[in-house]
Structure 1
Amino acid sequence: MISFLMLLALTLAQPVAPAHWCYQSQSQTTACTGPDNWPGYCQGKQQSPIDINTDKTMLNVSLVPFQFTDYDKRESRIIENNGHSVEVKLENSIKISGGGLQETYKAVAFHLHWSDALDEGSEHTIDGQSGAMELHIVHIKDKYKNVSEALAGNGNDEIAVLGFLIKASHGNNTGFTNLVESLSKVQYQSNNTHLKEFSLFDLIPRIDKLKNYYRYWGSLTTPNCDEKVIWTVFHEPILLHMNQILEFSKKLYYNLESDKKISMADNFRNTQQLGGRQVFTSGVGIPLPHAWPTLLAPLLTYLLAVFLY
């Protein structure tokens, strides 16, 4: 009996996501747990997403370019409507290293967030400005088998997410054609279909555009909002045609096909307080103190030459 009571106590002590959490837009039309009452760590102080104030970012010279493994691998993959977004599972051969990371991380999935408007939809904002969508590529440390195992780790960097804001443009993004055309086949929760062969490099900006990014430590943006994520948000946005962006809110629904249709729109979490955290950048920003001598040396050499002349 004592062993049973101890097991019960440990079970109750663990944060558990409800069977039906939802976004604010969905909570207005159905009975579910909205963001204000999300469980687990969702009310913590190291939460994501955030607004990135570029004037307060700090230059970190250790944030070197990423090394991408198998991001160019073209394969057919399954896309699924999981009731909160569309998600594509990825094989473990796709990996990232470098980028200021201390270990190699393997990709497990990617998903997107959006609105039914073009002036909001991303989770992160930059200087208060939203993107129309946001793409998240989720990775876990190479030593783990799955996300659950990574979340059981003790570090604040067990998961690495690459975030890309998506903005509307006048041109069609052919890299997304395959994905957008599949939406009509995954309209309802639990629907899935095979995508034609594609690579992750088809979706994101060119590799030479990925040298500049922001870095901070935060959380998952859905319950249980575990604060074990090292975030990378790239400066360079992904550009999609307006019609490609709006297809997501037009074609997709939160619910099962048998239920009343509820359009899948505004499936993003609002920005959270940064608190005492620092956002770093691999590009322009406020330099770290130890970087000052390196940055000032060329300027002092120039001024000295002018003075002696």
Structure 2
Amino acid sequence: MSENRWGYGKEDGPSVWHKHYPSAKGNRQSPIDIIPHQVSHDPSLGQIVLNYDQCTSINISNNGHSVVVEFDDSDDRSVILGGPLDNPYRLKQFHFHWGGKGCRGSEHTVAGNCYVSELHLVHWNAVKFRTYSDAATAPDGLAVLGIFLETGDDHRWLHMITDALYMVKFKGSVTDFKGFNPKCLLPSSLHYWTYLGSLTTPPLDESVTWIILKEPITLSERQLSKFRMLLFTAEEEDQRMRMENNFRPPQPLKGRKVRSSV
């Protein structure tokens, strides 16, 4: 596995990431298993506020590991604030993790139970840092909002994403995706768990304040199957590997505290 090549297979998957990315063995790695009865309720934790009203999505792409929707983060039009955060963090992108048919797919688990998918909305601290890259390596640089997905009825807004996936089937493909506001993907309750962790993909920098919503959203099996039609591989590659099971298993808590809102 070269410095820049990693994946989710036996040869290049999470179990060997530490060989090239030493942070993998760090003290605040993500994801984790959240055990609700061991979580401390923190009355000082206020509500989180998502100011996404002027969201400006730019494109949707397949980066060979997930599907990513990028946003214009040149100003504070789309931010998360409140809760465990000292200042607003700008929305940079969101992406998903999911499993194969009948398999687990979420990265975080709750009392050992997993969901079929997990959505990550990635924000960065533009008050303290000049660029996303600078923020991504700092202990308080990023804030990621995690949302669990479970199967059930069609999600009325998620089809806007799943209908676009055929255009980014192959690794490296990108297409315009303007005018999408992720506020429509939020559950009705914004109660959350929070802890200090890391990116869940290499380089696994320990720079993330995680905010995991307790209430999942629902998508249909048909919608989920469209994610599984994406490929880990580029169009010109002979071996076409279906994109699924693109998640890292829970990591040791190593003495960290998980706190709970309300």
TM-score relative to the length of structure 1? 0.78
Q: Is the 8 A contact 2:69 2:177 kept in 1?
A: no
Letter in 2 for 1:106: R
Q: Which runs of 5+ in 1 are unaligned?
A: 1-16, 284-309
1:20 matched to 2:5? The reply is: yes
Query: For residue 147 of structure 1, what is the aligned residue in structure 2?
Result: 132
**Following the alignment from structure 1 to structure 2, what is the Cα–Cα distance between the partners of residues 166 and 129?**
13
Q: Which residue of 2 is the match for residue 165 of structure 1? A: 148
> Is 1:258 paired with 2:236?
yes
Pair 1:76–1:53, CA change in 2 (3 A)? closer
Deviation track 1:113-133 (CA, whole Å, cap 9, x = no partner) reads: 001234510000001111100
Deviation at 1:179, TM superposition (A): 0.3
Quote the offset at 1:76 in angstroms.
Answer: 5.2
The 1:159/1:261 distance shift into structure 2, 3 A limit, reads same
Q: Contact 2:137 / 2:205 at 8 angstroms: preserved in 1?
A: no
1:19 Cα deviation from its structure 2 partner: 1.7
In structure 1, give the amino acid aligned to 2:252.
Answer: Q
Aligned residues: 253
Which residue identity does 1:257 align to in structure 2? E
Deviation by residue 1:76-114 (Cα, 9 ceiling, x = unmatched)? 531000000011111222101111211211111111000
Task: Report the counterpart of residue 128 of structure 1 in structure 2.
Answer: 112
Query: Residue 39 of structure 2 aligns with which residue?
Result: 57
Matches of 1:141 and 1:74, distance apart in 2: 17
Change (3 A) 1:229 1:22: same
**What is the Cα deviation at residue 275 of structure 1?**
1.6
Please say if residues 108 and 114 of structure 2, whose CA atoms lie closer than 8 Å, have aligned partners that are also in contact.
yes
Give 1:279's aligned residue. Answer: 258
Partner Cα separation in structure 2 for residue 145 and residue 86 of structure 1: 26
- For residue 47 of structure 1, report the CA deviation from its aligned partner: 0.6
Aligned residue for 2:180?
198
> Which residue, 100, 106, 119 being the options, matches 2:90?
106
Could you tell me which residue of structure 2 aligns to residue 222 of structure 1? 201
CA distance in 1, matches of 2:12, 2:100: 22
- Sequence identity percentage: 36
Length-normalised TM-score, structure 2: 0.91
SS at match of 1:227: coil
Residue type matched to 1:88 in 2?
V
Give the aligned partner of residue 42 of structure 1. 24
Query: Partners of 1:89 and 1:165 in 2: how far apart?
Result: 20
Q: Does 1:188 align with 2:165?
A: no
CA contact (8 A) 1:40 1:226 kept: no
Q: Give the deviation of 1:34 after TM superposition.
A: 2.4
Q: Which amino acid aligns with 2:226?
A: E
Secondary structure at the residue paired with 2:150?
strand
Q: State the superposition RMSD in angstroms.
A: 1.6
Alpha-carbon distance, 1:196 to partner = 5.3
Instruction: Give the gaps of 5 or more residues in structure 2.
Output: none
Question: 1:74 Cα deviation (Å)?
Answer: 5.7
Structure 2 Cα separation of the partners of residues 162 and 77 of structure 1: 20
Provide the secondary structure at the position in 2 that maps to 1:226.
Answer: coil
1:272-309 alpha-carbon deviations (Å, 9 max, x no partner): 011211111013xxxxxxxxxxxxxxxxxxxxxxxxxx
User: Structure 2 vs 1, CA of residues 78 and 142 (structure 1 numbering), >3 Å: closer, same or farther?
Assistant: same
Residue 213 of structure 1: how far off its partner (Å)? 0.4
Taking the aligned partners of 1:218 and 1:151, their CA distance within structure 2 comes to 12
Q: Structure 2: how far apart are the matches of 1:52 and 1:120?
A: 16
Q: State how far apart, in whole Å, the 1-side matches of 2:140 and 2:102 are.
A: 32
Between the aligned partners of 2:169 and 2:47, the Cα distance in structure 1 is 37
